[in-house]
Amino acid sequence: MRVSARQVGEFVETVLAATGADRVDLVGHSQGGLVPLYFINHLGGESKVGTMIGVAPATNGISAYGILHFLAAHSQAKDAVGKVIPAVDDGTAGSAFVTETGEGGMTRPGVEYATVSSRHDLVVQLSESQLPPGPNVSNVVVQDFCPENLTNHGTMVYDDITLRIVRNLLDPETAVAPACHPVAPLP
């Protein structure tokens, strides 16, 4: 994930140079909600990011309901899973990467932050996705806008209600209330 954070930084530099903007807004899903925090907190991104939104983010690392902590205690199983899903080592709650990302606090004063999470996410629990409360932090739960929306980790990026919430967070001056309707937990 450190390599990914550096790549995010390189892309941010490219966008800033091409647009002449002072800052960019970042929106990331899952580990894409954790990697930008490392960029902001440790690679100079604090002065380059205006808003950072994580959708179903692995902000505090994930435990997979305790499975990842079990794997961490059994090196052969951990190595086998790590070969298939390399992000598991960095993305596990309590990992060196997650701990380092949070050094000095998970947020910085000059950046606006938001998380958009679902109570029906079976990959990232609410406590794993949300940032600590602060004046520049909004932790949004989709079901607070629409209780019958059953969107989950994999479907949030396709869900029109989630996308409306993200658009509203990016541009609050033109915010439009999401149109609530039932959403099945299927793609």
Residue 29, in any domain of the structure = yes
What is the pTM for the complete model shown? 0.91
CATH code of the domain in which 18 resides: 3.40.50.1820
Please give the pLDDT value at position 88: 73
Residue 183, in any domain of the structure = no
Q: How many domains does the chain have?
A: 1
Specify burial of residue 169 (Cβ count, 10 A radius: 0-12, 13-18, 19+): buried
Residue 7, in any domain of the structure = yes
Please give the pLDDT value at position 11: 98
Q: What is the mean pLDDT of the chain?
A: 92
The domain of 109 spans: 2-140
Q: How confident is the model at residue 156 (pLDDT cuts 50, 70, 90)?
A: very high
Q: How confident is the model at residue 67 (pLDDT cuts 50, 70, 90)?
A: low
In contact, 33 and 121? CB cutoff 8 Å: no
Residue 73, in any domain of the structure = yes
| DSSP symbol at 164 | H
| DSSP symbol at 28 | E
Give the residue among 53, 65, 52, 40 at the shortest CA–CA distance from 128. 65
